[in-house]
Amino acid sequence: MEPDQAETASGHPLRLRRAVDVRGGRRLLWLAMIALGACSEPAPGTGGEAPVPGPRADTLYVGEHIITLDPEHPDATAVATRDDTIVWVGRLDDWRGSAGRTVALGDRALLPGFIDAHGHLSFLARTVNLANVASPPVGAVTDLASLRQVLSAHIAERGPAPGDWVLGMGYDDSLMEEQRHPDRDDLDAVSVTHPIALIHVSGHLMAANSRALELAGIDAATADPPGGVIRRRRGSQEPDGVLEETATGALQQFFLSGSDIPSEDVARALSVYASHGITTVQDGAASWDIYRRFADVAAAEGLMLDVVVYPRGMETDFAVPEGVSTGVYRNRLKFGGVKLILDGSPQGKTAYLSEPYHVPPAGLADDYRGYPTLPQPAVDALVAGYLAAGLPMLVHCNGDAAAQMLIDAVARAPEGAASADHRTVMIHAQTVREDQLDRMQTLGIVPSYFSAHTFYWGDWHRDSVLGPERAARISPTATTLARGMRFTVHNDAPVVPPDMLRLLWATTNRQTRSGAILGEAQRISTLDALRAVTIDAAYQHFEEDLKGSLSPGKQADLVILSADPLTTDPAQLLDLSVMATVSRGAVVHSAPGSPL
């Protein structure tokens, strides 16, 4: 996003963006207030005699627990906002302005709004009405019997007509008593008239009953598609109902394709994000149809949060539609760049590793390492093309072998193809090695870690996926921080809920479901974890001059927490709650007891 555009990403005129550049000093801050119409007197040092009043504000937030994440305002006790902008930050004793209302925070904490570094808004919007077949704490499934009970209850409650699809989201074989995926026989026991399809918690696999396989045209004669696997019954070519990676596309065409997402489901999904303090939402691996659908909803009904869309760009003929530009919000919707997917899921054992899985999937050889979704020459061509075009990239790499494919592709790009500040993001980067981090730092690749995995699947990674040594290093935030590298952390909703407080807790504590600590050496402080979901997440989106800290001139995106996370024992971060969320100055979430 260029600062000399006629209009900035937030809609503020050019003079404000230049005025609030932190390199410009206090005089430029005064000019920012002029741009906002907040100051009507002469500037200090310009010959005027009258005292300079403070800015006019709609709301003045006052408290002893304001975390600005702005080094120029480390001890602020007041923040003033007007319309969609922060107009003043400082000590309350220094406030000389006027405000329409004052919000006394008390023991509550005020922070910048949380930024979704990676997730799938359209996927969450599509799944808000599906059967919840997740395990605790998200759902109630603990074994195959309870899975069948949840599905049967969902059918009884929703009353689908005979032959209608029955869909579920979030089953997790690693957390079920049987330690296996539900197969077609398990789901046929629920219904043989309804086609049933369940989406694995990772989003990279599906389980289907016989009727669903029949409708998808999957049988013993169906070959595995490139980048995917149709699992078979032992000793047979007959599909067992479990589909991996690209093989799920035959089912997805029936319920995850197209753009006919009801606007109320989009609003409901955004409300979920807002309830967790998130003010900027991402939709990674969307389609242009989804982008256009969001644009229609934004124009007709509005979006309560900022939405950044990264369409899937796995084909060399990817093209940006006429009139769409990166870096510019229109009605709170922005095209952020492209999404590439180079491998699968570690918990689903489809991620591409350099060393074999600790325990390979049933029926596979001991040297099984997963597999890539694209060959290296294709990755090289895509990455070089997008770098040359100046299109930002989010690149899904769970396994370290997939991570190496991205590193090699960026390194091999023709001289001049990679801009000085391309900020290619390695999404998940869960098993990235120390030598790879060194290369990523040199090449300007930003890791975005799925550090919620330490809780949700840490035990599974240690005992089955990676073994103790490799599992202790998943999402290596501490060693990344030690290099002085920027990084972000994410939930990948709806793989797990967009719960930012649990994400902070998981990142700082690295505690598994069983209570074990997975890689104590990779723990980081609460403050560093907060940076990863605020200012550094803004940097990832090329928005650090607009969001991510409570700074004069930035967008009025705020979250109020029940207590100060910096004075809370990291082990107790889950005891905090989101009291209120403010997006562009508007209250979009307010919990009981909120001051708003």
- Starting at the edge strand found earlier in the chain, the sheet holding 338-341 runs 338-341, 393-397, 425-428, 446-449, 488-489
Q: pLDDT tens digits for 13-53? A: 222 222 233 323 333 343 344 334 333 333 333 344 444 57
Mean pLDDT of 103-116: 98
Q: What pLDDT, in 10s, does the model give residues 46-75? A: 344 444 578 999 999 999 999 999 999 999
Residues 142 and 111 sit within 8 Å (Cβ to Cβ): no
Q: How many residues does the chain have?
A: 596
Tokens 């969307």 belong to: 286
Q: What is the mean pLDDT of residues 326-337?
A: 95
- Nearest partner of 326 among 121, 546, 538, 541, judged by Cα: 541
453-483 per-position pLDDT tens digit? 999 999 999 999 999 999 999 999 999 999 9
**Complete DSSP assignment for 91-111:** -GGG---EEEEEEE-TT-EEE
DSSP 134: P
C-alpha distance across the termini of the chain, in Å: 33
pLDDT tens column, 339-361 = 999 999 999 899 999 999 999 99
Residues 556, 574: contact at Cβ < 8 Å? no
Q: How far is CA 126 from the centre of its chain?
A: 16
Q: Which of left, alpha, beta for 35 (phi over 0: left; psi -120 to 50: alpha)? A: alpha
What span, in angstroms and rounded, lies between the C-alpha atoms of 474 and 512?
12
Tokens found for residue 160: 């689908």
For tokens 């206090």, name the residue: 26
Distance CA 551, CA 42 (A): 23
Paired tokens of 364: 């596979």
